[in-house]
Structure 1
Amino acid sequence: MTILVTGATGNIGRHVVDRLVGAGQRVRAMTRDPRAARLADGVEAVYGDFERPETWADALDGVERVHLFPFAYVAAGAGDGAGFVEQAVRAGVHRFVVHSAAAAGFAPGDEPGDRTLSPLRRHLAEERQAHRGLELMVEATGAEWTHVRPGLLAVNALRWAERIRAGQAVREPYGAAGYPLVHEADVAEVAVAALVGDSHVGAAYTITGPAKVSQAEQVRAIGAAIGEEIRFEELTPEEAREQWIHDGCPEETADWLIGLLAAAVEGPELLPPSTAFHRITGRSPRSFTRWALDHAADFRPPARTEEAA
C-alpha cells in the first residue's frame, strides 16, 4: 500500500511522513521541490502542485490513501474541473485523511461576505467555509474519510524567533490572552492513526493542546527552554495594529488578529481544550513547554546554537 502525503514539507506534513516511515509504510511525498525536500530515507519525493493538474497523475499513480493538505481546495475547479480529489478517486484512492481546521466544526451562522460582521467573525466564517467545503468535497466522493481539525498551532510562536534570537523583547497586545495551542506532532499522530488504522473512518476530530497558555506564558516557556530571560512588553491594541500594518500586515488581518486575542483574555471560549487526542492515544496532548523544548534551536541566539551543537 502506498500512502501519498501532500503538504509533506510543512510543519505537520513532515511529522506525518516520519511517523508513517516509522510505522513501516510505503510513503510518497508530493512537493513542489523534491530535490530540496530533505525527507526521511526511503520516502519517494515526487513533484506535484495543486495548481498544476498535469502533475497530479504521477503523484497519484498506485496510491490508495492520501493525507490531504488544505490547499487542495484551490484545485477543486482546476484543469478539467474534476479537481485533485476527484482525480485521486479515479486513480484508485479509497481513503482520505483531511488536514482541516477547528473552524470547520463551528456551527453554521455568519455569512463570510457579510461586511456588517466584525473582522474576527467574518474571518471565522471564511475559515469555516473553506475547510468545511473541502471536507464536504471529500465526503461526496464516497471514499473513506477522516477529518483532523487542529486548533491554533504552537508553531505560530515562531513569529517571535527572529526577535528572540536578536535578544529583543517580544511585543504583543493582550499578554494574558491565549488558547490551548497544539503541538504539530499531536496533529500528525492522529492523522497517521487514521491513515493506517480502520477505527477512525467517518470521524472528525478537533485537536488542541491540553490547556490555555497565554502569550506571556509562552514567552516564559521559550525563555526556559533556551536558558535565557526574554522580556515581554505589552502593547495597546492600537499600538499593535499600527506596528503590524507598518510591517506589512493587511489592515483586515490586523483587525481580526486583535479580535482573536481580545476574545481569549478571560478564557479560550472560541476554542476550548478538546479531549480527542487523549481518547485516541490514551495520553495527554503535548504541552507548550514540550513544544518550546522541541523548538529551542529555533530561538537560540546564533552563538548559543553553535555551542549546543
Structure 2
Amino acid sequence: MILVTGSTGNVGRNIVHHLLAAGEEVRALTRDPAGSGLPAGVEVVEGDFARPDTLSTALEGVQRAFLFPVFGALDGFLGHARGNGLERVVLLSSSAVTFPTPGWVGEAHQRNEEEVRSSGIAATFVRPTVFMANDLAWAEQIAATGTVQGPYAKAAMAPVDERDIAAVVAAALTSQKTLDHVSLTGPQPLNQVERVRIIGEVLGIPARFEEISRDEAHAHLVRHMPAPAADFLLDQLKSAVDGEGEAVSTAESVIGRPAYTYASWVEHRIADFRR
C-alpha cells in the first residue's frame, strides 16, 4: 500500500493516477474525502497534518508514502510513520535547497529534508525547479486584457510540468532502489515574455507581457504570501535576467520519456486558462 498526501493538488492528483496505472494499491490522504474527486480504486481517507491524531489510521498497512511539503508540521506524520513501520518516504522538496543562497523557500525545504533524514526512514528528495502550474496565476489577466504584468520580463527559467514531477515521484515510490534525490527542470529555458507569447498562441489570442517595477510586484505578492517568500521569488527572477537560463536537467532517464514542453502544458491546462 502506498499513501499519497496532498492528494488533491497539482502534483498529488497526478501521482495517484500514475500509481493506479502501475497497478499499485493507493490510499489518498485529504481533509475532505467527499470532495476529493479522486478516481475509483483509490482508498480515500480523512487526515490533516495539523491534527496528528488523524494520521495513525491513515498509515496502517502502508509501506511507502509521498510526503507533501507542509512546513513546520512533519513531526507528527513522521512519528506515526516510524510507529507503523513505514519503509520509504518520497518528499517533494525544491531545487532551491541547492542554491548558494537558498533563501526563505530553500531554507524551509532544507529543514523538511533534515527532519525526514533524522527520522531514520529511507527517503528520496524530489527537487523540481519552478512549476509551470505557477503561471496559472496569469489566467485572469490574460482573459481580461491579454496583458500579463510582472517584474523582470527577461528572467529565463526552465519551468517543469507537474505531470513530470508526479512521474518522478511515482517512479521513486515503485523503484526497487532508493534514490537519494532527483533534481529536475523543464526541457527548455523560457523567459516570461516567451511564456506569455506561447500561452496566447495556444489559446489563439493576442497576449503580451508588460514589465512593472519590483516594488509594484512585491506589493502584489505580499497579499498572497509571506514577505520573505515574495523576496525570494523576486530575487530568483532578478538572478535569472542576465544569465542564459537554468541548466536543463530533465528526468527523462527516470521516467523513460521526454519531459513535457511548455506548449504541451498549456494545451493540457487550456480549460483553466479559458475559465
TM-score normalised according to structure 2 size = 0.91
User: Which deviates more from structure 2 when the two are superposed, residues 142-151 or residues 254-263?
Assistant: 254-263
Q: Distance in 2 between matches of 1:18 and 1:181?
A: 22
Give 1:214's match in structure 2, choosing from 172, 183, 191: 191
Which stretch of the first structure deviates more once superposed, 151-160 or 231-240? 231-240
The whole-number CA distance in structure 1 between the counterparts of 2:226 and 2:114 is 30
Task: Verify: 1:95 aligned to 2:88, yes or no.
Answer: yes
1:291 aligns with 2:269: no
The one-letter amino acid paired with 2:98 is: G
Amino acid at match of 2:234: I
Deviation at 1:257, TM superposition (A): 3.1
Paired letter, 1:19: H
- 1:47 and 2:46 are equivalent in the alignment: yes
Offset at residue 90 of structure 1 (A): 1.2
CA deviations on 1:35-92 (whole Å, 9 max, x unpaired) are 110001111111110010110111111111100111164132xxxxxx2112112112
Q: What amino acid is aligned across from residue 210 of structure 1 in structure 2? A: P
What is the one-letter code of the residue matched to 2:80?
Answer: Q
Question: What is the match of residue 3 of structure 1?
Answer: 2
| Count, aligned residues | 275
Q: Is the 8 A contact 1:51 1:75 kept in 2?
A: no
Q: How far is the alpha carbon of 1:264 from its aligned partner?
A: 0.8
Among the aligned pairs, what percent are the same residue? 40
2:104·2:229 contact (CA, 8 Å) conserved in 1? no
The corresponding residue for 1:112 is: none
Q: Is the 8 A contact 1:180 1:268 kept in 2?
A: no
Return the offset for 1:143. Answer: 2.6
Does the C-alpha gap of structure 1 residues 138 and 268 become closer, same or farther in structure 2, counting only changes over 3 Å? farther
| Structure-2 separation of matches of 1:151 and 1:233 | 24
Residue of structure 2 in register with 1:188 after alignment: 166
Amino acid at match of 2:264: R
Q: Is 1:263 equivalent to 2:256 in the alignment?
A: no
1:233 to partner: Cα distance:
1.6
Unmatched tracts of structure 1, length 5 or more: 77-82, 108-120, 303-309
Q: Deviations over 1:216-256 (max 9, x none)?
A: 111111111111111322223344345556x5666554443
Q: Return 255-264 or 174-183, whichever deviates more.
A: 255-264
**Matched-pair contact (CA < 8 Å) for 1:8–1:31:** yes
Q: CA deviation at 1:144?
A: 2.2
Tell me the amino acid that sits aligned with residue 235 of structure 1. I
Q: Provide the aligned C-alpha RMSD in A.
A: 2.1
Question: In structure 2, do the counterparts of structure 1 residues 268 and 40 end up closer, same or farther at CA, with 3 Å as the change threshold?
Answer: farther
What does the per-residue CA deviation read over 1:162-217, in whole Å, with 9 as the maximum and x for residues that have no partner?
12222441111221112110000111101000111113x04211111112111011
Matches within 5 A, 1:35-74: 35-71=34-70, 73-74=72-73
The question of 1:177 aligning with 2:151 is answered no
Structure 2: gaps (5+ residues): none
Partner SS, residue 264 of structure 1: helix
Residue in 1 that maps onto 2:140: 162
Q: Which residue of 2 aligns with 1:273?
A: 248
Q: Which runs of 4+ in 1 moved over 4 A?
A: 242-245, 247-254
So what's the TM-score if we normalise by structure 1? 0.82
Q: Rg bigger for which structure? A: 1
Which letter maps to 1:87?
Answer: H
Q: Partners of 1:174 and 1:162 in 2: how far apart?
A: 20
Do 1:68 and 1:97's aligned partners in 2 also have CA atoms closer than 8 Å?
Answer: yes
**What residue in structure 2 maps to residue 26 of structure 1?**
25
Query: Matches of 1:133 and 1:244 in 2, distance apart?
Result: 24
Compared CA separation, residues 233 and 52, structure 1 to 2 (3 A)? same
